Structure 1
Amino acid sequence: MEGKMKAIIKHHRDKGAKLKMVDIPQIKKDEALIKVKATSICGTDVHIYAWDEWSASRVHPPYIFGHEFAGEVVEVGAEVTNVKIGDSVSAETHIVCGECPQCLTGNAHICRNTKIIGVDIDGCFAEYVALPAKNLWVNDPDLPMAVGSVQEPMGNAVHTILAGDVAGRTVAVIGCGPIGLMAVGVAKAAGASQVIAYDLNEYRLNLAKEMGATTTVNSKEQDPVEVTMRLTDGNGVEVVCEMSGHPAAIDQGFKMLTNGGRMSILSLPVKPVEVDITNDIVFKGITVQGITGRKMFETWRQVAGLLGSGQVDVEKMITHEFPLEDFEKGFELMLQGKCGKVVLKP
């Protein structure tokens, strides 16, 4: 397809971005061109927009960023067989090599040669995006586009929660950004006996209640460890899902975890974090997991199942929708923490 399209460009190595007219991408024989109908703002996008230490060390402007979307296939390459024109799709954002030891042993989500859409290559904050067809997930045609656009981050929440046993267990979700909010809903759907949500932001704690949290804790006003011990008869929680990336919160997560518990860390601290390995890991006999991406495509099937069954209602935490041109409003809401998930409509 020839022509121009609107796209949000990370144009310089500083805070902000610009809306520009650029060429519609040309597809390769193994790719598909998707007309983006909805694209949501991720915490990673906020890092890039705000230009923190992590983004300054990782991304290379100018380029189109954004990686969460739903849209319609409008063109396919000559070798593409798994999707067709007219399909409603979202995308697995990790483009993997298929050849490294991790890929060859069923662990492509930790491929050593991963390239991420909107981080390492052009992304989806645009009217069109071209991607390898093998990365596309075909959506139920009745799935709302806004909901389709948050499946990728929901996959992170599902991967984090379901990385171990949850049913009948006490679960702490630290950090109620959009992925944390979805993690609350997933933990509840998976049968957790208690889902305790922690944040400093009352707006997001209220959303956590709507997503199914049995208890919310404002960590600015209460001691999170003290409250947790009281709620668990002094035992501590059995599962901690760390979504905040804040060093103090991470330390509190280790402290509130029961002996033999599981600590699953999805967050991305921007600096090294000090951990008391002796007392909080070794002597407690806990399991610490780093969580990255989604299992391809096991997690996607779980996400589709949870959405299709109605057990997790993500529409509750999609709080704002803007046209692509008003992207700055969305980013400022994210920076201020006065929103759940923000969706942009090209």
Structure 2
Amino acid sequence: MKSRAVRLHAAMDLRLDEFELPPIKDDEMLVRVVSDTICMSTYKMAKLGVNHKRVHADVAEHPAITGHEFAGDIVEVGTKYKDKYKPGQKFTIQPAINYKGSMDSPGYSYEFCGGDSTYCILPHEIFDTNSFLVYNGEAYFQASLAEPLSCSIGALNAAYHTHMGVYVHDMGIKEGGNMAIVAGAGPMGLGCLTYAIHRGRRPGMLVVADINQDRLDRAESLFPPEQVKKETGVELHFVNNGKFGDLDAQIKGIRALTKDDKGFDDVLCYAPVASVVTLSDALLGRDGCLNFFSGPTDKKFSAPINFYEVHYGSHHVMGTTGGNTSDMIESLRMTEEGRMNPAVMITHIGGLNVAGETTCNLPNIPGGKKLIYTHKEMPLVALADLRKMAAKDKRYGDLADIVDKNNGLWNPEAERYVLKNWPDVEAR
């Protein structure tokens, strides 16, 4: 079977290729990919090429399919799994398979497996590590977003707190405590926000701080604080910390939101910027847990933090990258049950024809998650610009109507419209 896919050939060399897939083995599966959301980690992979830990040295001879946040349908099942899975079932995967300690991962390391493709082959490693997940929800994009959401789920589950003189950690964020997401109005921050306020163990107060007012305004329109308080009991604040002034003023302004300036129990830092790390650290109260969430590309990245408070204030710093399979399962189930809406992360849609270019330019494209429909030919379009394009193409007006009636969010009806009305992608 022929497949079309965006593949890494070298650093910043992503190409839309057409190639023949080999027949599947007894312990493999052929799948039809429908959706993939582009991750900043894929940009980092494209930028670093073979210097990325998950990319093989011979990628020029055996190009790797990009994309790891994907969902689709089962097409053909190897004999080993015929009693467990059936063609037509929706699926997604946990890409951090960690097979026998290897860094290899779909979307980084495989010639025939990755999300920016029309069809791909899932290798036995995915099944051996229980990383294959059946999805029973309505829309493919929701399953694609399970992986990025699982990263924030993992971050909140990995937080911990201590008691003086006791050498056992209380795992998870502090229930009813103060929590802050710094540089948090982007797609991953909003994913963290929607999970934090809808999970069972919630903070009492949550501050989303960012310096981009447009992103903050969008976030507040999606999560009106009064409504959030009424529905979840969480006191929610959106703060433009840049408006406070210098770093000291920012620290003072955000900490003032806490009772008696006690600081925050849990802080998540969503930008690999030294000043943002320092701000995040300074927000911590006693026994505060800082999760440095956003991974840098600079291997020598560092930032000042207060080690006096590490020693005397029991501050602790950690980092998580990705979530585990149980985190993904939690994400899928909460989405299937309608307990949270991952669509808050999506601001752009497009076809496979723009996946490579979008990946390479990702830091320069504003907004949130970029959703790719891998069988479709479509320019990258911001949801906010759909109405502007209607004058030249009625389909965009129809899409705008569907999005508008869903509070400006991408949704299953919009997905069905794209899959029905846009042409299939051609190889280039």
Q: TM-score range by the shorter chain?
A: 0.7 to 0.9
**Is 2:167 aligned against 1:170?**
no
In structure 1, the residue matched to 2:163 is none
SS in 2 for 1:19: strand
1:117-137, Cα deviation, whole Å (9 max, x unpaired): 212334221111222333211
SS in 1 for 2:256: helix
Q: Does structure 2 conserve the Cα–Cα contact (< 8 Å) formed by 1:199 and 1:205? A: yes
In structure 1, the residue matched to 2:161 is none
- 1:299 Cα deviation from its structure 2 partner: 1.2
Q: Structure 1 residues 249 and 88, CA, compared in 2 at 3 Å: closer, same or farther? A: same
**Is 2:63 aligned against 1:34?**
no
Q: Distance in 2 between matches of 1:162 and 1:154?
A: 12
Q: Runs of 5+ in structure 2 lacking a partner?
A: 159-171, 226-235, 375-428
Residue type of the partner of 2:92? Answer: S
TM-score, normalization by structure 1: 0.85
In structure 2, the residue matched to 1:109 is none
Candidates 203, 209, 215, aligned match of 1:198: 209
Q: Distance in 2 between matches of 1:17 and 1:343?
A: 17
SS in 1 for 2:328: helix
Q: Distance in 2 between matches of 1:118 and 1:332?
A: 15
**Is 2:265 aligned against 1:265?**
no
In structure 1, the residue matched to 2:102 is 113
Candidates 288, 308, 315, aligned match of 2:317: 288
- 1:239 Cα deviation from its structure 2 partner: 0.4
Q: Distance in 1 between matches of 2:155 and 2:243?
A: 27
In structure 2, the residue matched to 1:68 is 69
- 1:86 Cα deviation from its structure 2 partner: 1.2
- Computed over aligned residues only, the root mean square deviation of the Cα atoms, in angstroms, reads 2.4
SS in 1 for 2:31: strand
Candidates 278, 299, 306, aligned match of 2:307: 278
Deviates most, 179-188 or 263-272: 263-272
Q: Once the two structures are aligned, what percentage of the paired residues are identical?
A: 23
Residue type of the partner of 1:220? Answer: G
State which structure, 1 or 2, has the greater radius of gyration over its C-alpha atoms.
2
Candidates 200, 205, 217, aligned match of 2:239: 217
SS in 2 for 1:241: strand
Q: Distance in 1 between matches of 2:241 and 2:92?
A: 35
Q: Does structure 2 conserve the Cα–Cα contact (< 8 Å) formed by 1:203 and 1:338? A: no
Candidates 238, 259, 262, aligned match of 1:235: 262
Residue type of the partner of 1:19? Answer: L
- 1:188 Cα deviation from its structure 2 partner: 1.5
Q: Structure 1 residues 25 and 265, CA, compared in 2 at 3 Å: closer, same or farther? A: farther
Q: Distance in 2 between matches of 1:288 and 1:68?
A: 28
In structure 1, the residue matched to 2:341 is 313
Q: Distance in 1 between matches of 2:134 and 2:288?
A: 36
Task: Count residues in correspondence.
Answer: 326
In structure 1, the residue matched to 2:116 is 125
SS in 2 for 1:153: helix
Residue type of the partner of 1:95? Answer: I
Q: Distance in 2 between matches of 1:338 and 1:55?
A: 27
Q: Runs of 5+ in structure 1 lacking a partner?
A: 99-111
- 1:150 Cα deviation from its structure 2 partner: 0.8
Moved over 6 A (4+): none
1:272-306, Cα deviation, whole Å (9 max, x unpaired): 3134362242222023332132233x212321232
Candidates 147, 153, 160, aligned match of 1:152: 147
In structure 1, the residue matched to 2:275 is 248
Deviates most, 26-35 or 65-74: 26-35
Q: Structure 1 residues 305 and 210, CA, compared in 2 at 3 Å: closer, same or farther? A: farther
Q: Distance in 2 between matches of 1:28 and 1:135?
A: 18
Q: Does structure 1 conserve the Cα–Cα contact (< 8 Å) formed by 2:64 and 2:109? A: no
Q: Distance in 2 between matches of 1:323 and 1:284?
A: 50
Q: Structure 1 residues 229 and 344, CA, compared in 2 at 3 Å: closer, same or farther? A: same
SS in 1 for 2:303: coil
